[in-house]
Amino acid sequence: MKDERTVGGTGVASAGRARPGWWLMFSREMADLWMGGKALNLVLVFSILLGLVAFVLATNSELSLIPPKEMVFEMVRLSLAASGFICLIIGADSLSGERERATLEGLLLTPASRRQLVIGKFLAAVSPWPAALAISLPYWVLLAQGDEAFAQAALWGSLLGTLVIPALAAIGMLVSYWSNTNRTSMFVSLGIYLVILVPTQLPGSAQAGSIGQLLKKVSPMEATYHFLEKIIVNNRTVNELTAFLFAPIVLAVVTIGGLVWYSAPRLRLEAGRVGQRKARGVGGVTALLLSLVLAGSGAPPANAQPTQIAGQPLDISIDMEFAVVNAGDPVMFNTAISNTSDDRSQPLIVAMNIINLDSQGDVVDPEDWSPQRTQYVGPMVPGQSVDLSWRVNAILDGDYMVYMVLIPEPNGLQATSRPIASSGIHLTVEPFTRLNPGGVLPIVIAIPTLLMAGVGFVMWRQRRRINQEDTE
Amino acid sequence: MVNNDAVGEASDRSIPQSEVLLADDLRKAYGNRPALRGLSFTLQSGRVLGFLGPNGAGKTTAIRILTTILEPDTGSFFVDGVGSDHPERIRRRIGVLPESLGLPRYATALEFLTFFGGLYGLAAGAARSNALVLLQEVGLRKRAKNLIGSYSRGMRQRLGIARSLVNDPAVVFLDEPTLGLDPRGQQDLLELVQRIARERNVGVVLCSHALAEVESICDDVVILSSGHVVAKGSVADVIRQARGNVNQETAVRLQVPAEQLVKAHKLLEALPFVAAVSPQIDRPGWLRVDLDSEPERASDHGNGVLSSLIGASIPIVSFETQGGRLGDVFLQLTEGLGG
């Protein structure tokens, strides 16, 4: 028996510390994906796609069709969808591809743990996401035109992307785990991807009502997009949208957990018989859907705004009479509420209203314009005055009237109150700073060009390595 | 120095030290279809064992069980003293060249072997040095930094053998290593396999359909048919045993120069103890001579055939008795036993 052997029987000593299996696997996969060109080519296509869409959006901007916030949101959405797709198909190739190329057996014959091998592959499959994010950020900056939407997009887009995209890569790998051929793996993975995306394409009417709202929360991609849209475009706060974070979190935990803790140790040379594979696949998908449904149903309901009415002698004033701003600019003002009576007031609610003067008084939904649609004031003692600060984001150009309504809470079930209106702010919003589509072109051209140079370098390096003789 | 036992446990010494592989009554079925029905054999270090059988005989199943890819339904095996209930420890002691060897196209041979060295627990520097030594051993040192995608079939097979030696194994499994190689490539590879077995003192299990090559380099042989072991032992013993089964052969084969083939054919047909003479379609220049004699007199009549040819000044290039080759034994033992 060979208790101790020199490596290769040649006396080569094993000095230094061995690297963990997952790191070795990750390094090899990274070299294969990036130096082999697959990931690099996909990211190149991604950058071209992003550039084209950015250019179209900039053109729309020139025509005043879409404000910067919405452009940024659209680009974030595209970035997530496209990077998720890239990671999904790389994941879908990772195990079935090894089976098809007959390289899996060699890996399984080593003493490295199968979980470590899978973790290394998973991390490599997710690697296009940071690259895609780095490529996306310049586009987001450019289209935001200095709007704070960029900061929100960068923060929440990258955070939610880091939840959803690894989950998609894990789904691809789980399918690949159960597939003997790449064709099956790709086909099933794309099917699942489409199923996940379907809720994001439902018409607005289908998203209304309790079922529609539930679907929005349960569908990971729709929940993600809804969250991002409300944060980036509508100035909503995170607290209001917590319910929409559940689905992406559950998706990430279930898929990545399932891959690493359940599937990885059971990795086999052959994916298994069809019956077993189907049963397990259906079981897995069912578990996934169930957990998502449970997460959705367990989520807290959206904030409900109580409406109550009461009345007392009170006064409300605004420190601004008119303002002329550009679309996208914020308008800041204060209101002062005074209790002019001799009695203690009821609790008070101050609500903001915005009327479009250009279109015969159409009501503008303040939700899209301000993070503060209403503010609450506690009971006021006689003679007390309270100042409230407000912010309105001028979303679209036009002529508007902004005014506040002070609503005392009713004094009982059978009591009512008289709301008191403030004077209005005549707000004129000039068309927003237009984006010259020509200004987008340098980035649209530069990023893919740089990536193509990278692809060219990789190809040159490969060609050089074909006939290079070792002179060591 | 590398201790192949990751946990540093003392090895099981219940089997003799030179016995690097012991299989004991291995059985495996896929559903109701039995693939392996009681495989038992041993392999000594430094020896090459040929693993033969028609398609579907159970060879691949057996190899996958012995390399821990599959689990047997019943039975057990030991590699270098480690029992089959410790698959990870066994994987540290075996090297495998699978029949379908997938190699990454965009890695160099040096990177490829260094990567596998790492998976066996070698530090980066040691894995690289080890890879260079192995590449030298298999004759690929000068192409160490070339992409594997640019390698010929023969070079890929040699790289596969180097890969199977990364962990300095006690047993190496080679599944059809010469498949698709030209005659020179086959010869070179077989010499390499033989050298590895002798110099490294490892046990080699060689799966092949090329019976001539198995006969030329193997010390021992196991022949499988429909999951059964139909013969096992040293190559010479198996041939002798098979010849004994039919008592004595009553046919000979011989090769004469092509221009003398017709003359020899006519001459031999005229001999009283010759029943039939037929050309060997698969071996140009060869004739099969069936003797019309009792088995105990076949030897004399075989000599009579040779004497007649010599008397007629027909040179004899080669001569062999039917059943004297491993291929004959294989065909005889597996006849009618479909895979």
CATH number of the domain at B205, please. Answer: 3.40.50.300
Q: Which of B122, B130, B94 is nearest to A10 (CA)?
A: B130
The answer to whether A464 contacts chain B (CB < 8 Å) is: no
Do B157 and B77 sit in the same domain of this protein?
Answer: yes
* Residue A341 one-letter amino acid: S
Mean pLDDT score of chain B, rounded to an integer? 83
Does a structural domain hold residue B134?
no
Integer CA distances (angstroms), B209 to A100, B62, B331, in order: 24, 16, 12
**CB crowding B118-132: b at 16 or more within 10 Å, else e:** bbbbbbbebbbbbbb
Q: Which of B20, B142, B150, B128 is nearest to B77 (CA)?
A: B20
- Which residue ranges in chain A fall short of pLDDT 50? 1-14, 273-277, 279, 282, 286, 289-290, 292-311, 471-472
- Is A28 in contact with B117 (CB distance < 8 Å)? no
Do B205 and B259 sit in the same domain of this protein?
Answer: no
The answer to whether A455 contacts chain B (CB < 8 Å) is: no
Do A41 and A97 sit in the same domain of this protein?
Answer: yes
How many other CB atoms are found less than 10 A from the CB of residue A334?
12
| Residue B227 exposure: Cα atoms within 13 Å on the Cβ side | 14
B214 versus A181: which is more confidently predicted? A181
Q: Which residue has the tokens 């790998």?
A: A173
- Is B168 in contact with B196 (CB distance < 8 Å)? no
**CA-to-CA distance for A220 and A251, rounded, in angstroms?**
7
Residue of B nearest to A16 (CA): B123
- Is A448 in contact with A67 (CB distance < 8 Å)? no
Does a structural domain hold residue A393?
yes
Do B284 and B181 sit in the same domain of this protein?
Answer: no
User: Hey, of A6, A10, A12, which one would you mutate to test binding to chain B, going by the most B CBs within 10 A of its CB?
Assistant: A12
Last residue of a domain, one of B191, B209, B242: B242
pLDDT digits (tens, 9 = 90+) for A142-184: 888 777 889 999 999 999 999 999 999 999 999 999 998 999 9
Do B163 and B188 sit in the same domain of this protein?
Answer: yes
pLDDT confidence of B68, banded at 50, 70, 90?
Answer: very high
CB contact under 8 A, A110 and B91: yes
Domain range enclosing B271: 250-322
Domain count, chain B: 2
- Is A470 in contact with B143 (CB distance < 8 Å)? yes
And the tokens for A464?
């050089």
Claim: this prediction has a pTM higher than 0.80 = no
Do A364 and A385 sit in the same domain of this protein?
Answer: yes
For Cα atoms B276, B277, B281, give the angle at the middle one, nearest 5 degrees: 130
Q: Kindly state the percentage of chain B with pLDDT values over 90.
A: 34
DSSP H helical ranges for A63-127: 68-94, 96-100, 104-108, 114-126
CB contact under 8 A, A106 and B133: no
CB contact under 8 A, A15 and B126: yes
Do B236 and B315 sit in the same domain of this protein?
Answer: no
Closest approach of chain A CAs to the CA of B263, in angstroms? 53
Domain range enclosing A360: 314-430
Does a structural domain hold residue A268?
yes
Closest approach of chain A CAs to the CA of B43, in angstroms? 13
CATH of the domain at A330: 2.60.40.10
Does a structural domain hold residue A12?
no
Model-level ipTM above the cut of 0.90? no
pLDDT digits (tens, 9 = 90+) for B269-304: 898 888 888 887 767 788 888 887 666 677 788 888
pLDDT confidence of B323, banded at 50, 70, 90?
Answer: low
- Is A400 in contact with A385 (CB distance < 8 Å)? no
Does a structural domain hold residue A187?
yes
Residue A11 has what pLDDT?
39
* Residue A82 one-letter amino acid: A
Closest approach of chain A CAs to the CA of B50, in angstroms? 21
Do A25 and A65 sit in the same domain of this protein?
Answer: yes
- Is A348 in contact with A410 (CB distance < 8 Å)? no
Do B316 and B205 sit in the same domain of this protein?
Answer: no
Residue A3 has what pLDDT?
43
Pairing of strands B274-279, B171-175: unpaired
The answer to whether A387 contacts chain B (CB < 8 Å) is: no
Give burial (CB, 10 Å; 0-12/13-18/19+) of A387. Answer: exposed
